[in-house]
Structure 1
């Protein structure tokens, strides 16, 4: 089978050997929303799941690894103050306190992997 592949704006003609044996162990795999329309977005995490922040908790804006925790339990924080940082795909994201308050509990540790929406720090 011949395919045309474009990488970084350069087109290449590629010959692909296709295995003629039938192996349906995984079933049909569709890429990019074939078979009737665009792929749908994943369902949002519902409350009570491991990735859902509770009341008063600062949620992780994305999945990543906790790289720094800049506050301790009992610290007073101001709205907009950076309280932690997450690393994802070699980029750091600052996590800010949404409101003034006191750090009640730190829910994660440095180098811990977290999911988007997961509670990081509880502020009361």
Structure 2
């Protein structure tokens, strides 16, 4: 028999698994009992750099950040690439909607973002 600790949707369970010898008869299975243990803490969101800007640049779809092409305080022109977002195996360039200065960056390379998440703000 082997004992395992399994976390499912934040609930921690201790389970015991009986090893089979290859016999045709199935082994009896008992329901796992919940165990009061603390689950791993949720990962912290990256802190925003700088102040909030008046123009928010959001993710049009869920995906993973492959590159951040600007930094806080940098002047940008309308159509300039701010962030590269990978979604469905395609790289999508997220561009500046208007001329301005990057007030803050809310995403880092490797972050997973949801649709509508603020990636950057411009002034």
Q: Which bracket does the TM-score occupy, shorter chain normalised? A: 0.5 to 0.7
Following the alignment from structure 1 to structure 2, what is the Cα–Cα distance between the partners of residues 76 and 109? 19
Q: What 5-or-longer segments of structure 2 have no aligned partner? A: 1-52
Which structure 2 residues correspond to residues 21-36 of structure 1 after superposition, within 5 A?
none
Q: Tell me which residue corresponds to 1:102.
A: 101
Which structure 2 residues correspond to residues 1-124 of structure 1 after superposition, within 5 A?
55-124=54-123
TM-score (structure 2 length as normaliser): 0.55
Q: Which has the larger radius of gyration?
A: 2
CA contact (8 A) 2:82 2:94 kept: yes
Aligned pair count reads 71
Greater share of residues in strand: 2
Q: What 5-or-longer segments of structure 1 have no aligned partner? A: 1-53
Q: What is the CA distance between 1:88 and its match in structure 2? A: 1.1
Following the alignment from structure 1 to structure 2, what is the Cα–Cα distance between the partners of residues 96 and 88? 15
Q: What is the CA distance between 1:55 and its match in structure 2? A: 4.9
Runs of 4+ with deviation above 6 angstroms: none
